[in-house]
C-alpha cells in the first residue's frame, strides 16, 4: 500500500498556546485537520464563554490565508464555573465541552479543582444538557505511583462519578493504560476516549533511550509495553468509542531541556503520519479513517467532514526543530525519518 485516502479528519485534543507561539504552530494543525478541540489551559485559563469567544477569534485571525480550519472551544473547570455558564456554553455553538484538570496534574493546572463534590451542580447541568465533560484522568495524591495514577483515577473518580451521573457525556482524554481502554469499552455509549500518537507508538523505555529524553516526557506519562499494546488493540478493533486526539503540546526547547522538564510532546507537524504508522504496524490501516474522521464527530454530535486527505508512502526527514515564536520547539521524531507524509505537504 503506497497511499491512503481518508475523509478529512479532526483533532479532538489540541494545545495551541496563544499569541506568537500559537501563530507558529497553528499552520501544522490547519494543514491536516478540519477542526480541533482546543484546550483552555492558558494563563489565565479560559473559564467563560466570553473568554472562549475571544480566544477563538485570535485563532481565526492567526490562520494562514485561505484556511477553513475551525477551532472548537472548551472551558476550564474551576470552582467558579456555574450551571448557567455551561448552558451559555452549550448555546454558543462554538464551545463543545468543559475540561477537568485535577489541580497539580499537568501543565497550567493550578486553577483546577481538587475534587468534584464542589462542582457537582455544574456537572449535573452538563448531564442534563448533553455538554461533554473532558477529563484529564489522573489522581494527584503523591502516595500514588506516577505510573498508576490513571488506573487509580478510574476507581476513585470515574466510577463514582458515572454512578452518580450515569448520563454525563465523558471524554476520557489521552488514555494510556489497559485499564482505561477496558473501562471505556465497558462503559455506556456516553463515554468515549481520545488516544495520542505517542501512546500508540512508544512505551516508557522511550524516556530513557540513550539517556533521559525530555522531549518524550508528557502527562500522563508513557507506560509499559503491555499498555501500549492494549491501546493499539482497542483503536484497531474498530470500536467507535475511540477517536483521534493528538494532545500535541508545544513547549520551547529551553523549557523542555531544563530542570523544569515541561510535560508535553509536539506532534502536530506530522500527526497523520504517526497514526498511519501505528495503524499499519497493527495490520489495520483500514480502521484509521473511522478513528480519525468519524468517531469523534459522531460522539460530539457534529457533522462528519466532507472532502478527503491523502497520505503517501514517502520517506522524509523531520526537522530538528521548528520556529516557536522567538524560540524553537523540538518535534516528535526530530532528526529522524518518517515513511508517511500528507500529500502536497
Strands 337-342 and 308-317: antiparallel
Q: What is the mean pLDDT of the chain?
A: 96
pLDDT of 332 > 90? The answer is yes
Question: Is 219 labelled as part of a ligand binding site?
Answer: yes
Q: Give the structural domain span for 159.
A: 3-342
Q: Give percent of the chain with pLDDT exceeding 90.
A: 93
Q: pLDDT value at position 156? A: 95
Q: pLDDT value at position 106? A: 64
Phi-psi region of 104 (alpha: psi -120 to 50; beta: other; left: phi over 0): left
Q: Cα–Cα distances in Å, from 258 out to 108, 207, 214, 251, 255? A: 17, 15, 8, 12, 6
- Strand order across the 3-7 sheet: 3-7, 308-317, 337-342
Q: pLDDT value at position 41? A: 94
Q: pLDDT value at position 344? A: 81
For residue range 129-157, list pLDDT tens digits in order.
Answer: 999 999 999 998 889 999 999 999 999 99
Q: pLDDT value at position 7? A: 98
247, 286, 298, 328: the active-site residue: 247
Q: pLDDT value at position 105? A: 59
Residue with cell 489495520: 284
| CA neighbor of 71 nearest in space, from 55, 85, 87 | 55
Q: pLDDT value at position 32? A: 97
145 in catalytic set: no
Confidence of residue 66 (pLDDT cuts 50, 70, 90): very high
Domain containing residue 238: CATH number? 3.20.20.140
- Terminal alpha carbon distance of the chain: 19
For residue range 81-129, list pLDDT tens digits in order.
Answer: 999 999 999 999 999 999 999 876 566 557 778 789 999 999 999 999 9
pLDDT of 340 > 60? The answer is yes
pLDDT of 257 > 70? The answer is yes
Question: Is 269 labelled as part of a ligand binding site?
Answer: no
Q: pLDDT value at position 261? A: 79
Question: Is 10 labelled as part of a ligand binding site?
Answer: no
Rg (the chain; Cα; Å)? 19
**What is the 3-class SS of the chain, one letter each residue?**
CCEEEEECCCEEEECCCCHHHHHHHHHHHHHHCCEEEECCCCCCCCCCHHHHHHHHHHHHHHCCCCCCCEEEEEEECCCCCCHHHHHHHHHHCCEEEEEECCCCCCCCCCCCCCCCHHHHHHHHHHHHHCCCEEECCCCCCCCCCHHHHHHHHHHHHHHHHHHHCCCCCEEECCCCCHHHHHHHHHCCCCEEEEECHHHHHCCHHHHCCCCCCHHHCCCCCCCCHHHHHHHHHHHHCCCCCEEECCCECCCCHHHHCCCCCCCCCECHHHHHHHHHHHHHHCCCHHHHHHHHHHHHHHHHCCCCCCCEEEEEEEEEECCCCEEECCEEECECCCCCEEEEEECCC
Report if pTM > 0.75: yes
212: CB partners within 8 A, 6+ apart:
none
Question: Is 190 labelled as part of a ligand binding site?
Answer: no
pLDDT of 251 > 70? The answer is yes
Q: How many domains are contained in the chain?
A: 1
Mean pLDDT of 184-207: 98
Q: pLDDT value at position 121? A: 97
Amino acid at each position: 500500500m503506497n497511499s491512503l485516502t481518508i475523509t478529512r479528519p479532526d483533532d479532538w485534543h489540541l494545545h495551541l498556546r496563544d499569541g506568537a507561539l500559537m501563530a507558529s504552530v497553528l499552520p501544522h494543525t490547519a494543514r491536516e485537520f478540519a477542526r480541533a478541540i482546543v484546550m483552555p489551559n492558558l494563563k489565565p485559563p479560559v473559564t467563560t464563554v466570553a473568554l472562549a469567544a475571544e480566544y477563538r477569534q485570535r485563532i481565526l485571525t492567526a490562520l494562514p490565508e485561505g484556511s477553513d480550519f475551525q477551532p472548537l472551544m472548551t472551558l476550564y473547570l474551576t470552582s467558579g464555573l456555574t450551571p448557567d455558564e455551561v448552558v451559555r456554553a452549550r448555546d454558543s455553538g462554538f464551545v463543545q465541552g468543559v475540561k477537568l484538570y485535577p489541580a497539580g496534574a499537568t501543565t497550567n493546572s493550578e486553577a483546577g479543582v481538587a475534587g468534584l463534590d464542589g462542582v457537582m451542580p455544574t456537572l449535573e447541568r452538563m448531564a442534563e444538557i448533553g455538554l461533554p465533560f473532558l477529563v484529564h484522568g489522573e489522581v494527584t495524591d503523591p502516595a500514588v505511583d506516577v505510573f498508576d495514577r490513571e488506573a487509580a483515577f478510574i476507581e476513585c473518580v470515574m466510577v463514582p462519578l458515572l454512578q452518580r451521573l450515569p448520563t454525563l457525556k465523558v471524554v476520557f482524554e489521552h488514555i494510556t493504560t489497559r485499564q482505561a481502554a477496558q473501562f471505556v469499552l465497558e462503559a455506556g455509549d456516553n463515554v468515549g476516549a481520545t488516544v495520542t500518537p505517542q501512546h500508540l507508538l512508544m512505551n516508557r523505555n522511550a524516556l530513557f533511550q540513550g539517556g533521559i529524553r525530555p522531549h518524550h516526557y508528557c502527562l500522563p506519562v508513557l507506560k509499559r509495553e503491555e499498555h501500549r499494546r492494549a491501546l493499539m488493540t482497542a483503536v484497531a478493533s474498530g470500536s467507535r468509542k475511540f477517536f483521534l486526539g493528538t494532545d500535541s503540546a508545544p513547549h520551547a526547547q529551553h523549557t523542555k531541556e531544563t530542570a523544569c522538564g515541561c510535560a508535553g510532546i509536539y506532534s502536530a507537524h506530522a500527526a497523520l503520519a504517526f497514526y498511519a504508522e501505528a495503524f499499519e504496524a497493527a495490520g489495520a490501516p483500514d480502521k484509521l479513517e473511522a478513528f480519525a474522521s468519524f468517531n469523534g464527530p459522531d460522539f460530539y454530535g457534529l457533522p462528519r467532514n466532507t472532502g478527503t486527505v491523502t497520505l503517501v508512502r514517502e520517506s522524509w526527514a523531520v526537522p530538528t526543530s521548528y520556529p516557536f515564536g522567538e524560540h524553537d520547539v523540538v518535534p516528535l521524531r526530530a532528526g529522524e525519518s518518517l515513511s508517511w507524509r500528507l500529500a502536497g505537504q
